């Protein structure tokens, strides 16, 4: 072999050595990236992008759910516009966030079921306003699940409006209702989902300042006679109430007989819930006002040609049903409906 022929081969060998070393280092780095969870985290990030057509802001979801890794999943929504979930990527059965965006009135019936309004005489379910200028309600359900429902006003072809429903179950078993930071965080996640859906589908979601605080769930907090200042303001006797808010499309108030026996449940339902409640709850509502089968109701005309519905029913608290008292029920309904209608800018209600 001549020196001339050996030179190029030696040069090629010298060139191949660093290339091989570089490839080996790249493979090793890739293995470290993969085995160290980098690939999974990248896939997690990609899966969270564009959820529900880009309407979901997932910035706080991992903290809300109490998970190290979160994976997004778009779901089929044959009866709505979009549905998606954020799940615990490390343990699929531990913690999740579900978001649905649907058209009214179809989605309204599902949302009323989520808020347990198929049994609206139950003493164990009560909604709270989101507050901060947002139109919507929270039901923290007293256990591990939190639900938020937020209506949107929309132009054609969704002139009946859209509804955004958000549900969350933390992975660590922590109750959203018991943690002020978690309540506010869940409310922010729900409000941002509504704002995102409004942008995607050209609707309107009332906005306000950043939600820094949400009142505690007060469904089991007794208010002494004459001290009510929220949804039960002006009603006599021991009550259980939530803060009064003109943007809350559903309002609740409970009247008690003494300290421990709930008697009546008062409800105020504004669009899009007023029209669907009688069918969902199997309420015998006919006409703008009446009294039938132990239920009394009233109605009021609201801005934009909408109608509000107000109801009063005896309460079942899991052990017993409150004793009917038609005269007291109608008197309570009169005060409750009148104040709620005024708060929402509606006309004086027609009363039974």
CA 171 to chain centre: 18
- β-strand pairing of 82-88 with 162-169: unpaired
Question: What pLDDT is stored for residue 205 in this prediction?
Answer: 87
What is the spatial distance between Cα 174 and Cα 181, in angstroms, rounded to a whole number?
12
Name the strand (E) or helix (H) holding 97: strand 96-103
- 171 contacts: CB under 8 Å, gap ≥ 6: 65, 66, 67, 88, 91, 94, 95
Question: What pLDDT is stored for residue 67 in this prediction?
Answer: 87
Question: What pLDDT is stored for residue 39 in this prediction?
Answer: 39
Question: What pLDDT is stored for residue 75 in this prediction?
Answer: 84
Domain regions of the chain by residue span: 47-215, 218-352
Q: What pTM did the predictor assign?
A: 0.85
Rounded average pLDDT per 10-residue block, the chain, 352 residues: 50 48 47 44 65 87 89 80 88 81 92 88 83 92 81 89 94 78 93 94 89 87 94 94 96 86 91 95 93 93 94 80 84 97 97 94
Relative orientation angle of helices 3-35 and 38-48, to the nearest 10 degrees: 60
Question: What pLDDT is stored for residue 7 in this prediction?
Answer: 54
């Amino acid at each position: 072999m001549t020196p001339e022929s050996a030179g190029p081969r030696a040069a090629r060998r010298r060139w191949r050595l660093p290339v091989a070393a570089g490839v080996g280092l790249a493979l090793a780095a890739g293995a470290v990236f993969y085995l160290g969870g980098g690939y999974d985290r990248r896939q997690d990030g990609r899966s969270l992008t564009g959820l529900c057509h880009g309407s979901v802001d997932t910035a706080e979801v991992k903290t809300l759910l109490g998970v190290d890794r979160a994976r997004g999943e778009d779901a089929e929504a044959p009866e709505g516009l979009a549905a998606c979930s954020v799940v615990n990527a490390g343990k699929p059965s531990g913690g999740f966030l579900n978001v649905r965006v649907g058209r009214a009135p179809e989605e309204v019936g599902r949302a009323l079921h989520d808020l347990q309004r198929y049994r609206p005489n139950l003493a164990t379910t009560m909604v709270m306003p989101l507050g901060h200028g947002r139109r919507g309600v929270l039901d923290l359900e007293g256990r591990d699940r939190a639900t938020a429902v937020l209506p949107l006003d929309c132009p054609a072809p969704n002139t009946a409006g859209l509804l955004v429903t958000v549900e969350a179950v933390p992975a660590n078993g922590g109750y959203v209702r018991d943690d002020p930071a978690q309540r506010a965080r869940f409310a922010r996640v729900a409000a941002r989902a509504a704002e995102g859906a409004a942008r995607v589908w050209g609707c309107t979601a009332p906005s306000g300042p950043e939600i820094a605080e949400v009142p505690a769930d007060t469904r089991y907090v007794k208010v002494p006679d004459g001290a009510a200042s929220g949804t039960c303001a002006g009603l006599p006797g021991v009550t259980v109430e939530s803060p009064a808010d003109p943007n809350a499309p559903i309002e609740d108030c409970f009247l008690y007989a003494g300290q421990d026996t709930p008697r009546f449940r008062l409800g105020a339902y504004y669009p899009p819930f007023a029209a669907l409640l009688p069918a969902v709850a199997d309420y015998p509502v006919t006409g703008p006002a009446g009294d039938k089968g132990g239920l009394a109701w009233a109605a009021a005309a609201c801005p934009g040609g909408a109608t509000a519905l107000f109801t009063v029913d005896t309460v079942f608290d899991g052990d017993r049903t409150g004793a009917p008292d038609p005269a007291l029920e109608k008197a309570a309904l009169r005060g409750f409906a009148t104040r709620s209608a005024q708060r929402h800018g509606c006309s004086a209600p027609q009363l039974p």
